[in-house]
Structure 1
Amino acid sequence: MSQGTIVKVSGPLVVASGMEDADMYDVVRVGDLGLIGEIIEMRGDMASIQVYEETAGIGPGAPVVSTGAQLSVELGPGLIESIYDGIQRPLEVMFEQQGANIQRGIQVPALNREKKWDFVPVAKAGDRVEAGDIIGTVKETVIVEQKIMVPWGVSGTVESVEGGAFTVDETVCRIRKDDGSIEELSLMQKWPVRRGRPYKEKMVPDMPLVTGQRVIDTLFPIAKGGVAAVPGPFGSGKTVVQHQLAKWADADIVVYIGCGERGNEMTDVLMEFPELKDPRSGESLMKRTVLIANTSDMPVAAREASIYTGITIAEYFRDMGYSVALMADSTSRWAEALREMSGRLEEMPGEEGYPAYLASRLAQFYERAGRVAALGSDGRVGALSAIGAVSPPGGDISEPVSQATLRIVKVFWSLDAGLAHARHFPAINWLSSYSLYVDRLTPWFEENVAKDFPALRNQAIRLLQEEAELNEIVQLVGVDALSFEDRVKLEACKSIREDYLHQNAFHDVDTYSSMNKQYKLLKLILGYYDQSVDAVSKGAPFNQLAAVPVRETIGRFKYIEEKDIDSSYEEILTEMKKEITDIVNKGAEDDD
């Protein structure tokens, strides 16, 4: 341990001398209150420390003590349903101990040391184990079963293993290592947050993370183990999109990081998530969720830590073989914290004052996502999908954080203030968004949804792009100047926008759309377009085709219960063919 003395205090940045024995990223205790901090720069015996608590009242001459350990998180039973701050202190426990005004320097263990968990051994004495092997399980909630794994760097033979009720720090297994020493394992392990957890290999992401949101799953899908960015101006619906993904995405575990967001917005999350029903189990969504709350009025340095705390917890569940969805809201606030600390360190600023290493830090965060073969001998495969919201000032995505993020992520859901003001939600702009996973995921869609689903998707995107071009002509010369074929195209695109891409998050049925439902609805809309174009070529009047009653029936298809989809689909197909054929036949009779 190294002890030094404060020589300078600049907001959350403290500089201490006499720290030559300390290392980068060591956790330190600052001042008589023992505020928690982390060394982020070393110059000789001078250490620059970012303090994760308010530094008011601390001045030169106060002591600084290094713990000799890096900032780490505790991983084990008790994570699920917990609400932590940016450095994994349980907010509910701190509230019980000190009330609404949390005192500085408080030290609370992240995992409850008194609660006993029922441990069911899987390994037995005499078994040979290595890092990542499962020695037993703990039923943490009705949904989540934690797999207690051999920590990294440990391998050998199981000497003894006990079942029963244990606290997280009691020994449940003894392993004789290859050098003859004994390693005692508990239900808990620690891991430094700035280092990615190891795995055997990173695998190709070849299956989608199905979200139930039509504009995402159909047009701009994200793969399991993929990364996505949701940039958008204030009020465009970033948080609602992330709430929808947290609730409906095909993930076993959800880790939600509120990084520097407004306090009232974070309060909504903390109040809503326990009340949301998990659609797969009927239980509260919190039964498979970890929340990290770091609001904009909390010390700025803790924002930086919160991102790493969250992704380390997510990696831990990924290593158990689970599919994990991580929501970071928002990485812009994290970048602002980087900028503030960089300024106080007097580093050379980069673009718009952000540090020159902004892009590499963002890449380090997003690259920890992925679909991996986990350590251990049982062939587990886990996936960690990272979805980061970006809040560019004034909605200008040419600013550095948005641009650095776009260079890293493969899915870009561009939120549009114009769509949001027009009450079109999710307000994802179909002309400026993209997904680079589409080609990789096409075989999965062909095999699990329908052979022609990718072709329908491509047709829908092509029509929407052509609609944008036609609208420019309409604004110049009016809709009457267009051919009947082009006017049919505009009507079909109106159906795609209003009936397909628009989705009501608060409607009991429309809030989630299965892949089967998405396919059949898109098939109906494009079927109407194809048949109408054919009818126009045979002389059918456009006005009658545009007003055909079946269009309203197609629009209501998204509100149909899942069990009635197939029968309703066939009925609408039959009705559509009859009505359009009648118009064509009537037109032919009139000609005669």
Structure 2
Amino acid sequence: MLRTGKIYGINGPVVYLKGNTGFKMSEMVYVGKERLVGEVIALDKERTTIQVFEETTGLRPGETVEASGDAISVTLAPGILNNIFDGIERPLERIAENSGAYISRGVSVDSLDKTKKWSTHMTVSVGDEVHGGHIIAEVPETAAIVHKCMVPPNISGMITKVVPDGEYTIDEPLVTVELESGKTIDLTMTQKWPIRVPRPTHHRFPASKPLVTGQRILDTMFPIAKGGTACVPGGFGTGKTMTQHQIAKWSDADIIIYIGCGERGNEMTQVLEEFTQLVDPKSGNPLMDRTTLIANTSNMPVAAREASLYAGLTLAEYYRDMGYDVAIMADSTSRWAEALRELSGRLEEMPAEEGFPAYLASRLSAFYERAGMMHNLNGTDGSVSIIGAVSPQGGDFSEPVTQNTKRFVRCFWGLDKSLAYSRHFPAIHWLTSYSEYLMDLAPWYAKHVSDKFIDYRNQMMALLNQESSLMEIVKLIGSDVLPDDQKLVLEIAKVIRLGFLQQNAFHADDTCVSLEKQFKMMEVILHLYDKSKALITMGMPISVLKEEDIFERVIAIKYDVPNDKLEMFDDYMKAIDQFYDRIMEKNA
């Protein structure tokens, strides 16, 4: 039975219906003559409140609202990768063909191509018992990723019919399943899943493997685990988007979901242009073969911003269920929080701190809690890692979005505008950032890189902390009054900052660095510190040490040692020993 209601009032993206409409909470509805997509967000016996995901200009009281019978859902099937969607999974390329550069209202296109035939290899046979998550077919979705078509989580039974291997569209039946009730159901490649409901898993693993990004300050100093959560807060121009781009390009995740939530249109254009040209360093295929973009730019309706994060998260969980490691780049959660604030204001809810709704913290926690390394229903292991950018106004980290996000993430990569303005990138400040995954990942680093990895990292952090304390004295009375051992700390900290933490995204060897090279770089820097410290202990002044060019040579290691010639580090270790011997001979 068709359930409808009449519009009684309109307040921006919020529409009110009078009387008992029979609509359900979180149900998707079609609003007005143009059938704008909306969602039921509040119900009582006298009024139904709907948020509309499209521009409501021209909508009038008295127009009809029609219920769809389903929650806001995404379509899950081959064709998601190498695609760009808006916040409610409408493909922007198809919309552009229909309505040009700007999205016209009420445009209705299929989320995925229903006419394309996919080469399908069946993995089940008649008589097999299947349950939720069971893989029934494999489809090479792109050159990089095999799409595994699964039984929806709420279905189990016995297969009575299977099609032969061949070419099929996403809506053609592949298998027939007889349910325990005796009914039969045809399964296709397509699933629908409500975006606000997490997909079920068997159980969650504790953090144990790092998401290797190739960025030294992240991998060595503040690592994130696969299935972990991180936030990248920073003011305008400090490099949030570029940090996420680098992780998207170089991390060892199988699939990237990039959500541009309320960002500038030119930034999304840059992502589109860059990602379509980039070659995946792992496979040699285009990077877009394992990437999906969700573009919800700042000029798009504000309510769709709120849905875009959940839509991207549901796509990520779907690929996790296939056994893939997925990384979500959410840029930025502040714009999403601003959308919550605007809608809350329209709903006349009681505002909390800085006008944000009182449920900001619970919404953020619900989003970040869907990350994790999971054992799936089909026996595979997969992960969803979430890296959310936060754009605090004026770079103020004490504002509500940053503070509440800190409660729910275990990695905090604080961007510093003074570093960004001095062209030190990534501008992640080592004193304000932290990672709670460090000790969880220590056994992995010990096994796969070196048992000294975490120890060297801690020594370098101690030197950077010492430098910070000494700089307070230097600012007051100058560096000349410091004893030579403290001057050496300042010198080595400079080597760490310029030679290790600073990284050049446009240099072929420096843009992405293996963990082995990162370890070797730490080893050389700390070897230089140990030898220099031994000389100073014997009474050599720092000025004599600085007459040699060894400090500058070590800073330049990141450019001078190619990523495929790590044996060259042995030459640097010898050069440091020779530097020690020369100074000893001169002053013998």
TM category, shorter: over 0.9
Between the aligned partners of 2:420 and 2:251, the Cα distance in structure 1 is 22
Between the aligned partners of 1:233 and 1:495, the Cα distance in structure 2 is 27
Q: Which residue of 2 aligns with 1:298?
A: 300
Between the aligned partners of 1:36 and 1:27, the Cα distance in structure 2 is 7
Q: Deviations over 1:134-185 (max 9, x none)?
A: 1110000000000111101111111121221111111011111111111110
Contact 2:54 2:105 survives alignment (8 Å): yes
Q: Which residue of 2 aligns with 1:40?
A: 41
> Counterparts in 2 of 1:294-443, with a 5 A limit?
294-376=296-378, 379-443=379-443
Alignment match of 1:165 (pick from 164, 167, 170)? 167
| Higher alpha-carbon deviation: 544-553 or 271-280 | 544-553
Contact 1:3 1:19 survives alignment (8 Å): no
Between the aligned partners of 1:388 and 1:547, the Cα distance in structure 2 is 46
Q: Which residue of 2 aligns with 1:146?
A: 147
| Higher alpha-carbon deviation: 540-549 or 423-432 | 540-549
> Counterparts in 2 of 1:488-527, with a 5 A limit?
488-527=488-527
Give the residue type in structure 1 aligned to 2:343. Answer: M
C-alpha displacement at 1:201, in angstroms?
Answer: 0.3
Would you say 1:471 and 2:477 are equivalent positions?
Answer: no
Q: Which residue of 1 aligns with 2:451?
A: 451
Q: Deviations over 1:364-413 (max 9, x none)?
A: 0000000000012xx21001000000000000011111000001000000
Contact 2:296 2:305 survives alignment (8 Å): yes
Between the aligned partners of 1:364 and 1:201, the Cα distance in structure 2 is 18
For 1:451, what is the secondary structure of its paired residue? Answer: coil
Q: Which residue of 1 aligns with 2:5?
A: 4
Between the aligned partners of 2:487 and 2:102, the Cα distance in structure 1 is 63
Between the aligned partners of 1:236 and 1:461, the Cα distance in structure 2 is 22
Contact 1:273 1:285 survives alignment (8 Å): yes
C-alpha displacement at 1:492, in angstroms?
Answer: 0.4
C-alpha displacement at 1:561, in angstroms?
Answer: 1.7
Contact 1:115 1:167 survives alignment (8 Å): yes
Between the aligned partners of 2:96 and 2:418, the Cα distance in structure 1 is 41
Runs of 4+ in 1 over 4 A off after TM superposition: none
Q: Which residue of 1 aligns with 2:134?
A: 133
Between the aligned partners of 1:491 and 1:143, the Cα distance in structure 2 is 46
Q: Deviations over 1:306-331 (max 9, x none)?
A: 00000000000001010000000000
C-alpha displacement at 1:83, in angstroms?
Answer: 0.2
For 2:480, what is the secondary structure of its paired residue? Answer: helix
Give the residue type in structure 2 aligned to 1:157. Answer: M
Contact 1:3 1:18 survives alignment (8 Å): no
C-alpha displacement at 1:266, in angstroms?
Answer: 1.1
Q: Which residue of 1 aligns with 2:278?
A: 276
C-alpha displacement at 1:539, in angstroms?
Answer: 2.2
Q: Which residue of 1 aligns with 2:219?
A: 217
Between the aligned partners of 1:166 and 1:355, the Cα distance in structure 2 is 47
| Higher alpha-carbon deviation: 273-282 or 509-518 | 273-282
Between the aligned partners of 1:111 and 1:278, the Cα distance in structure 2 is 24
C-alpha displacement at 1:84, in angstroms?
Answer: 0.2
Give the residue type in structure 2 aligned to 1:405. Answer: T
C-alpha displacement at 1:272, in angstroms?
Answer: 1.1
Would you say 1:231 and 2:233 are equivalent positions?
Answer: yes
For 2:276, what is the secondary structure of its paired residue? Answer: coil
For 1:40, what is the secondary structure of its paired residue? Answer: strand
Give the residue type in structure 2 aligned to 1:479. Answer: S
Q: Deviations over 1:71-117 (max 9, x none)?
A: 00000100001100000000000101221132211111111010010
Between the aligned partners of 2:585 and 2:136, the Cα distance in structure 1 is 73
Q: Which residue of 1 aligns with 2:196?
A: 194
Give the residue type in structure 2 aligned to 1:176. Answer: E
Structure 1: tracts of 5 or more residues without a match:
none
C-alpha displacement at 1:209, in angstroms?
Answer: 0.3
Percent identity over paired residues = 50
C-alpha displacement at 1:189, in angstroms?
Answer: 0.4
Q: Deviations over 1:427-458 (max 9, x none)?
A: 00000000000010111111111111100000
> Counterparts in 2 of 1:169-184, with a 5 A limit?
169-184=171-186
Contact 2:503 2:510 survives alignment (8 Å): yes
Give the residue type in structure 1 aligned to 2:251. Answer: A
Between the aligned partners of 1:530 and 1:488, the Cα distance in structure 2 is 10
C-alpha displacement at 1:550, in angstroms?
Answer: 2.8
Give the residue type in structure 2 aligned to 1:65. Answer: E
Contact 2:4 2:21 survives alignment (8 Å): no
Give the residue type in structure 2 aligned to 1:308. Answer: Y
Q: Which residue of 1 aligns with 2:89?
A: 88
Give the residue type in structure 1 aligned to 2:257. Answer: V
> Counterparts in 2 of 1:11-30, with a 5 A limit?
11-30=12-31
Would you say 1:288 and 2:290 are equivalent positions?
Answer: yes
Contact 2:26 2:41 survives alignment (8 Å): yes
Q: Deviations over 1:230-252 (max 9, x none)?
A: 00000000000000000011100
C-alpha displacement at 1:45, in angstroms?
Answer: 4.1
* Aligned Cα root-mean-square deviation (Å): 0.9
Would you say 1:99 and 2:100 are equivalent positions?
Answer: yes
Contact 1:205 1:371 survives alignment (8 Å): yes
Between the aligned partners of 1:385 and 1:271, the Cα distance in structure 2 is 24
For 2:6, what is the secondary structure of its paired residue? Answer: strand
Structure 2: tracts of 5 or more residues without a match:
none
| Higher alpha-carbon deviation: 415-424 or 523-532 | 523-532
C-alpha displacement at 1:553, in angstroms?
Answer: 2.7
For 1:157, what is the secondary structure of its paired residue? Answer: strand
Between the aligned partners of 1:497 and 1:552, the Cα distance in structure 2 is 12
Between the aligned partners of 2:262 and 2:291, the Cα distance in structure 1 is 19
Give the residue type in structure 2 aligned to 1:217. Answer: D
For 1:563, what is the secondary structure of its paired residue? Answer: coil
Give the residue type in structure 2 aligned to 1:487. Answer: K
Give the residue type in structure 2 aligned to 1:488. Answer: L
Between the aligned partners of 1:6 and 1:544, the Cα distance in structure 2 is 83
For 1:273, what is the secondary structure of its paired residue? Answer: helix
Between the aligned partners of 1:101 and 1:475, the Cα distance in structure 2 is 54
Give the residue type in structure 2 aligned to 1:494. Answer: K
For 1:152, what is the secondary structure of its paired residue? Answer: coil
C-alpha displacement at 1:563, in angstroms?
Answer: 1.8
C-alpha displacement at 1:476, in angstroms?
Answer: 1.3
For 1:73, what is the secondary structure of its paired residue? Answer: strand
C-alpha displacement at 1:548, in angstroms?
Answer: 2.5
Contact 1:75 1:189 survives alignment (8 Å): yes
Q: Which residue of 1 aligns with 2:73?
A: 72
C-alpha displacement at 1:44, in angstroms?
Answer: 1.3
Paired positions, count: 585
For 1:111, what is the secondary structure of its paired residue? Answer: coil
Contact 2:76 2:191 survives alignment (8 Å): yes
Between the aligned partners of 1:318 and 1:421, the Cα distance in structure 2 is 39
Contact 1:131 1:153 survives alignment (8 Å): yes
